[in-house]
Structure 1
Amino acid sequence: MASLTGSSWEELRKQARLLENDIDVKLVAFSKLGSSSSTSGLSPESVPLINNEDMFDTLSMELQQLLNKLSAINDKMADLAPSGAATMHTIKRHREILMDYQQEFSKTSARVNARREREELLRGGNSSPPPSAGLSRRDQYTKEANHLHSSHVLVDEQINIAMEAREHLTSQRQSFKRMQTTFNDITNRFPMLNSLMYRINAKKRRDSLIIGLVVAVCTFLLLLYAFH
């Protein structure tokens, strides 16, 4: 019976140390979340679906369960403890560690609760729920997915329009190149055509010059006759 009791005692001590290590790590994270879990400056649409407030509340529940479990193990250790001063000192030490953890947990929880109450007062006691308050997490994820899908569809439409415009411009460019090639072929095939066009333009310029001289002489003669 003594051997069984000793084995149970050592097993409980091992469980207590593991719980204490786990609680210690989680308390550090709990304290950090308590210092940065404010979302009062964000609009309801800007608050992420999983924010520091949610993580803080989840971790708070986990820590409360671990502390309760550690307290129960300490009580069992006291019931199964072998007699002796060293054993009593060990039990006392585990209870002191548990008390320190409980105090740290309570202090962080109280600080966050006080901050939440202060933020609620600063918001003017507005009791109306945010637009997304009636939505479950699943509904909010669905809403975000629909927004993303709509954005993707809009982007795809703009890309298609840009590609169609690019294809149209490319087609026009190819048409102009074909026309230019055709004109060059005609010019190379009929070299006399350029010469004919040049003579026609030269004759037009000469006729314009003659008409201009005739008009100038007539105007001069009319002015001369008018002054005489």
Structure 2
Amino acid sequence: MSSTGNGWAQLRQQARALESQTENLFHTYSQFSSTSKIPPRPSEEEQKTESQIEELLEKRENLVAQISRLLDSESTLTSSALKQNNLSRHREILREHEGELARIRSQISTARDRANLLSNVRSDIDAYRSSNPADSEADYMLDERDRIDRSHNTVDGVLSQAYAINENFGVQRDTLSNVNRRIVGAASQIPGVNSLIGKIGAKKRRDGIILGSFIALCCLALLYFL
């Protein structure tokens, strides 16, 4: 029974280690589908990573079968439900990783097919332009026209913003004028405000005359004594 327990612990440890290695390789393998310039054919590194994952999955398949045989050899009393649950979990993770390998492999294949298709299209376009210089010149003129149209659209947008700002200034000016008229109108309706404003204006004029006369006298006195 002790040897059976030791065998179970060792097999579980191996299963966990292989699962961890598989996940690390999945991280490396998935990067081949997201590269900006995927090669038209699988690289040596990509093939090596895929082969390592397949080998790990095969090892884990054999290991799960070995664990299952170990539990079947145990008596009903010693084979606990916990061990059976652990075995089921290892099987489940194995199936998930097999599906993950198929999914990433499909992504890489799709990305490679798309890149090859775009490359072929560019090659066909370049070949057509090289064999038809007149059409190539026409395409160039169309591209230039598109760039000019985009420039005009940009200028029109800037002018539209300038007109909108100018119109906004006009609206603000009219608003301030209306506020000023309302203030003047409200002040004119208050009793005594007009007369008070008139007295203030008259006082300012009188003070200005007195100050001007004093300055003139000072200038005359200065000229006399000189």
Report the TM-score, using the length of structure 1 for normalisation: 0.45
Higher helix share: 2
Q: Structure 2 length normalisation: TM-score?
A: 0.45
